[in-house]
Structure 1
Amino acid sequence: MYNMETYWAIANHTIAILGIIIFGWLFYKFVKPFMKEKAFYVGISYSVIMLILYCVPWEITYPYLWSVFAACVAMCLLERRNIKQKILLATVMYLFRWMVYGVILLLRDIMFALFINTPYMLMHPVAQWVTYVIVELIYYSVAIAIMYLVIKLFHKVYVNKKEDISGKELILLFATLLTVMIGYFTFNYFSNVYLKDMEVYIWNVHPGYTFLRVIYQIVSFVAILIAIVTYQKIKEKQREEKVNILLAEQIENTKQHIGEVERLYGDIRALKHDIGNHISVLENLLLKNETQEAEKYLSELKATWNESVGEIKTGNPVTDVILMQKKKEAEEKGIDFECNFFYPSDTNINAFDVSVILNNAIQNAFEGVVGCESPYIFISAYRKKNAYVVEVKNSICKSVDIEDETGLPETTKKDKGSHGFGLVNIRRVAQRYYGDIDISQEEKSFTLTVMLMLD
């Protein structure tokens, strides 16, 4: 009445194909934080290659390994940077699949023993088939759910997703991964040899083999996570060192600005000291009716005065010097520079902290306007109740990608590990005053807003 072989074939093929497609989706979710939209094609490439290998009429050794390799090649072709990281991701994903599906396979074996391979089910093939489908759906559902949680955990511990991996760092990580891979191939080798010699699966004769493999898979998973966490701590320490170096450079720059302020004050004192002589010269020229000479002398005196006191007045000599230098640099680069900035005197805001904000924000703005037809940088500051707000707005040629984890723009420079600390330092300063930064984008416009809370 029932062609059960056909039903079994349909069930097996359907479940296998669904499993391949869903794992392709998991692969996409795994690499998405590292490749964003391009990750979709990585998942597709895995599923397509795996389906092809599944449909060929002859048996393929390690089909999942070949499919993951194809996905790795797709990653490298789609984004030809940080190749070492892509090799790492492909290897980790392959091992994660083996670990998760292998551990959950123990649950599947238990369900098979309890609900499928029983005398009653052997006498009722339809009920056995239905139960088999249910058990397989439970197995794959649990495996997919745990795999998804494992991916989320990996994303959480792998913090610096956009930083390049060096050759030494890859070797450090692969010391653990290769150990796990050796165990993986060893378990597969013994099971295949046993099946070939005894014509029966080793786990059916020696149940301890399954438990030993599961223990190894769990320990391997923990070892990989520890290796990733250790690697991330090393990267974080490197970032801290680079941030400290940058802060040291900014402290030195601030000292230079203070020296510039002292020089300007010296020039002003000299002008004040000589003001009597200048007045006497002008008086003599006017008494002799040498009007043109008097006007020329007055113009030169005014230019000297403006050069000494500066045309930007913020309420603090250090920020005066910084903004005057940045304005001069902008003019040399053909950038429209407008400043409506003031320093919050008589508050808890330190001039050095404000100089860190201005130096980094304006430097980022200089980089952002590169290539724009009508580059501009607008700087303003205002108080709103007990908040002091600094805004730096600049033109951009195209929208800036924002990292999901940090909320900060992705650096476009090749050496991502050595750049991108400017906004990090600005955020640190803001958080020191219980504030934060906000980034907004409009068409051809980028705005950085820094809020500091006043006492």
Structure 2
Amino acid sequence: MRVELAVLCILAAMFVTWGVTVLWMRHRQLKKIGEYQDEVLKKQREEVQNIYETMRGWRHDYHNHMQMMKAYMSMDQAEEMVDYLDHLEEDLDGIDMAVRTGNVCADAILSSKISMAEKQDIQVDCTAKIPAALTVSDVDLCAVLGNLLDNAIESCVKVKESGRFMRIYIGIFKKQLYISVSNATCEKRRKYLTEFVTQKQGEHGFGLRRIDRIAEKYDGYVNRKNEPGVFATEVMFPL
């Protein structure tokens, strides 16, 4: 009887230890994911803030620019005025929104990421239209877009420059907000969804799991496809 009781106590202790260890590991993983996502959102907020601060600064200087051009015209300094206009055009190119979806936050994230992609010689094709009424919050939507595009860019830069591409489509499909991102990849074989997610480590893995958690939060849907040379992700949120 005492032996059986001792065995039961040992088994119970092992079970409790195992349970505590699992909970601790899960808590640690969630903490890492949270820290990573906080850093991503901080970076995205800084990108958005930088765009709008630049735009406000340009608007503030508008009258000064007009006075300068009038001065050049009054002194018949056409060449100097052309140089000045060229300089202003360069400034405007730097702050112009590459994408206008109807959602300000999405515009800023997409424009920023597309600019980053193009600097890496990635050919980008983007079609996006977002309705005003959404069930998903702007914060979560931008987190999904930011993670999708960061992962796509990371994958593309590993491919030869001539083969780099990224395609983005956002719209309404069957009364749901449909997001599709496909990109070039070095992967040469197909992988199942669970295999792909579990094998990705570090920030990339955190980003994938973050997308899954946000989709689950809104009863959404995530589908990943990996064909030779192409990786695609579809995310859907009910409207």
TM class by shorter chain equals 0.7 to 0.9
The 5 A counterparts of 1:413-428 are 413=201, 420-428=205-213
The 5 A counterparts of 1:176-255 are 231=18, 234-235=21-22, 237-255=24-42
TM-aligned CA distance change 1:280 to 1:369, over 3 Å: closer
Q: 1:402 aligns with which of 180, 192, 196?
A: 192
Q: 1:377 aligns with which of 150, 166, 182?
A: 166
TM-aligned CA distance change 1:425 to 1:262, over 3 Å: closer
Contact 2:190 2:228 survives alignment (8 Å):
no
Q: Distance in 1 between matches of 2:156 and 2:110?
A: 17
Q: Distance in 1 between matches of 2:116 and 2:184?
A: 16
Residue 92 (structure 2) pairs with residue 305 (structure 1)? yes
- Structure 1's unaligned 5+ residue stretches are 1-215
- Matched position secondary structure for 1:449: strand
Aligned residues: 229
- Matched position secondary structure for 2:135: coil
TM-aligned CA distance change 1:229 to 1:434, over 3 Å: farther
How far the C-alpha of 1:229 sits from its partner, in A, is 9.7
Q: Distance in 2 between matches of 1:292 and 1:251?
A: 49
How far the C-alpha of 1:352 sits from its partner, in A, is 1.0
How far the C-alpha of 1:265 sits from its partner, in A, is 2.6
Q: Distance in 1 between matches of 2:190 and 2:220?
A: 23
How far the C-alpha of 1:233 sits from its partner, in A, is 6.9
| Number of the residue aligned with 2:229 | 444
| Number of the residue aligned with 1:189 | none
- Matched position secondary structure for 2:199: coil
Q: Distance in 2 between matches of 1:367 and 1:239?
A: 27
Contact 1:261 1:317 survives alignment (8 Å):
no
How far the C-alpha of 1:379 sits from its partner, in A, is 1.8
Structure number with higher relative contact order (C-alpha < 8 Å, ≥ 6 residues apart): 2
TM-aligned CA distance change 1:412 to 1:357, over 3 Å: closer
| Number of the residue aligned with 2:136 | 349
| Number of the residue aligned with 2:176 | 387
Residue 69 (structure 2) pairs with residue 295 (structure 1)? no
How far the C-alpha of 1:433 sits from its partner, in A, is 1.5
Point out the structure with the larger helix share: 1
| Number of the residue aligned with 1:84 | none
What's the TM-score once normalised by structure 1's chain length?
Answer: 0.44
Q: Distance in 1 between matches of 2:183 and 2:19?
A: 34
- Matched position secondary structure for 2:53: helix
For 1:382, give the aligned amino acid.
G
TM-aligned CA distance change 1:273 to 1:362, over 3 Å: closer
% of aligned pairs identical? 26
| Number of the residue aligned with 2:199 | 411
Contact 1:400 1:410 survives alignment (8 Å):
no
Note the alpha carbon deviations across 1:275-316, whole angstroms, 9 max, x for none. Answer: 222123223323443322222211211222232343333334
TM-aligned CA distance change 1:444 to 1:234, over 3 Å: same
What's the TM-score once normalised by structure 2's chain length?
Answer: 0.77
| Number of the residue aligned with 1:266 | 53
Q: Distance in 2 between matches of 1:419 and 1:396?
A: 14
Of the two, which has the highest radius of gyration?
1
How far the C-alpha of 1:236 sits from its partner, in A, is 5.8
Point out the structure with the larger strand share: 2
- Structure 2's unaligned 5+ residue stretches are none
Q: Distance in 1 between matches of 2:207 and 2:195?
A: 14
Contact 2:109 2:142 survives alignment (8 Å):
yes
Q: Distance in 2 between matches of 1:375 and 1:367?
A: 11
How far the C-alpha of 1:335 sits from its partner, in A, is 2.6
Q: Distance in 2 between matches of 1:365 and 1:236?
A: 32
More off after superposition, 445-454 vs 338-347: 338-347
